[in-house]
Amino acid sequence: MSAAPTPQRVPDEDPAIFREGLKMGMPTLFGIAAWGLVVGVAMVKTHLTVAQAMGMTLLVFAGSAQLASLPLIALGAPVWVIFATALAVNLRFVIFSALLAPHFAHLRWYKRFWLGYVAGDLTVALFLQRFPNDGPAPGKVSYLKGLLFPNWTAWQVGSVTGIFLGSQIPSDWGLGFAGTLAIVCVTIPLITNRATLCGVVVAGIISVLGFHWPYKLGLLAAVIGGMLMAMAVTEVLQRGKARGIAPDSLLRTSGVDAGQARRRRQEATRRKEHE
Amino acid sequence: MSDLDIWLTIGLLAVATAFSRTTFIMLGSRVAIPPRIQEALRYAPACALAAITVPDLLLNNGHLQLGPDNFKLVAGIAAIAFYLVKRDMMLMILFGMLLFTGLRLWA
């Protein structure tokens, strides 16, 4: 990170980049709404009143934490146990917050608070994919907002639908699977090298092995384990690179994100036209 | 659980969300994270997304189900293959859900 904060002269807002964010997030909306629906139904099945369910969906706005806490509420678990579980489930967001922080450090505190508060898994992943570097770049706030607004809306629409139709929807329709598919879809372009692939595989394995651990610690262990594995693979491959072995990149096999590829092609043609 | 307890729980859950999602972004540039750790943190989003989805694909009611009778797994793998070819998220979700529903109703 830079030693002294430079004044932010690059515009944060840019309507074109806002639309880019909307376009990027659009395909995930159905999956997010489906997941919201599942959580809405779960809240109703746990006998929360409509007011409580609405309160939970608006104030907590964290699907995995809500789903983890509902069975505990049903069992009448002590409130501090539920809090500890939700905290453990949400701990991955501390990491995401650390990743987002340098991009928005120059904003007023309340803007940072709201942007961070509603930024879920998919929003963070998609934002970081578009802006992998901390340095000033135009339209970061617009892009994030472009991802956030529809994400939040889709979730609320799904949740409210689930709350009001909860009893009518048979659970064996498995509608939540659409949410899983959406998340899988966003994960694939993030796997750009072997290190990430290994990390993802290890995270998957640990999340299955630790599925029944208390406080949903399996999720947290999976994230940390995956990160450690990816770092270890990076180390090994860097040492291999020093000895002249091929660089670690899956970009040709797994394919580059279409948007990035298109942008690169556009830049290449623009460069050719100037020659 | 009493109504009051439930509202208390909801309040604490909101605190859990606020705390985890806003701590670092609120600290802004006041916290310098060592570059090695920053490198490691970049892998976190992909790992977190995997940790959320893999159990849904591989487990049925908490039990590992790796065979073709796990419709989510079959549909999931097919959907991944579909996405790698078509690179279209909406179609991938549609394809996966249709396949999953088809398997569920007729397999």
Q: Which of B16, B39, B100 sits opposite A87 (nearest CB)?
A: B16
Q: Which of A128, A188, A191 sits opposite B83 (nearest CB)?
A: A188
**DSSP 8-state code for residue B63:** E
Residue A6 has pLDDT above 70, yes or no: no
Confidence of residue A76 (pLDDT cuts 50, 70, 90): confident
Quick one: pLDDT at residue A272? 61
Quick one: pLDDT at residue A251? 57
Quick one: pLDDT at residue A275? 46
- The lowest-confidence range among A123-127, A223-227, A257-261 is A257-261
ipTM for this model: 0.89
Task: Give the rounded percent of residues in chain A with a pLDDT score beyond 70.
Answer: 85
Chain A residues within an 8 Å CB radius of B104: 172, 174
Higher-scoring residue by pLDDT: A140, A240 = A140
Quick one: pLDDT at residue A19? 94
| Contact between residue A247 and residue A241 where contact means Cβ atoms under 8 Å apart | yes
Q: Check if B81 contacts A (Cβ < 8 Å).
A: no
Give the ranges where B1-107 is alpha helix by DSSP (H).
Answer: 3-27, 35-41, 44-58, 71-86, 89-106
Residue A255 has pLDDT above 50, yes or no: no
Quick one: pLDDT at residue B94? 92
Highest-pLDDT range among A62-71, A162-171, A222-231, B21-30 = A222-231
Chain B residues within an 8 Å CB radius of A30: 90, 93
Mean pLDDT of A134-142: 89
Which residues are bridge partners to B29 per DSSP?
none
Element counts in chain A: helices (H) and strands (E): 13, 0
Q: Check if A182 contacts B (Cβ < 8 Å).
A: yes
Quick one: pLDDT at residue A170? 77
Mean pLDDT of A190-216: 94
Per-residue pLDDT reduced to its tens digit, B51-68: 999 999 999 888 999 999
| Residue A161 C-alpha, separation from nearest chain B C-alpha, in angstroms | 19
Quick one: pLDDT at residue A166? 78
Quick one: pLDDT at residue A50? 92
Distance CA A249, CA A259 (A): 18
Mutate to test the interface with B, among A6, A73, A93 (most CBs of B within 10 A): A93
Distance CA A188, CA B92 (A): 12
- With a CB cutoff of 8 Å and minimum separation 6, the contacts of A245 are A237
Which pTM value belongs to this model?
0.80
Mean pLDDT of A199-204: 97
A-contacting residues in B 12-51 (Cβ below 8 Å): 12-29, 31-33, 35, 38-51
Quick one: pLDDT at residue A252? 45
- Among B21, B9, B5, smallest CA distance to A85 is for B9
Place of tokens 């070819």: B85
Quick one: pLDDT at residue A265? 66
Handedness of CA A74, A80, A81, A86 (dihedral sign): positive
Higher-scoring residue by pLDDT: A245, A46 = A46
CB contact under 8 A, A207 and B32: no
Mean pLDDT of B32-44: 87
Quick one: pLDDT at residue A126? 94
Distance CA B20, CA A28 (A): 23
Quick one: pLDDT at residue B107? 80
Handedness of CA A173, B74, A151, A38 (dihedral sign): positive
Quick one: pLDDT at residue A254? 42
For chain B, what is the mean pLDDT?
Answer: 91
Higher-scoring residue by pLDDT: A241, B6 = B6
Quick one: pLDDT at residue A125? 93
Confidence of residue A248 (pLDDT cuts 50, 70, 90): low
CB contact under 8 A, B29 and A90: no
Mean pLDDT of A113-128: 94
CB contact under 8 A, B53 and A97: no
**Radius of gyration, CA atoms only, chain A:** 21
Quick one: pLDDT at residue A216? 86
For chain A, what is the mean pLDDT?
Answer: 86
Residue A260 has pLDDT above 70, yes or no: no
Mean pLDDT of A100-125: 92
Compute CA distances A59 → A47, A56, A126, A207, B47, whole Å: 18, 5, 23, 27, 26
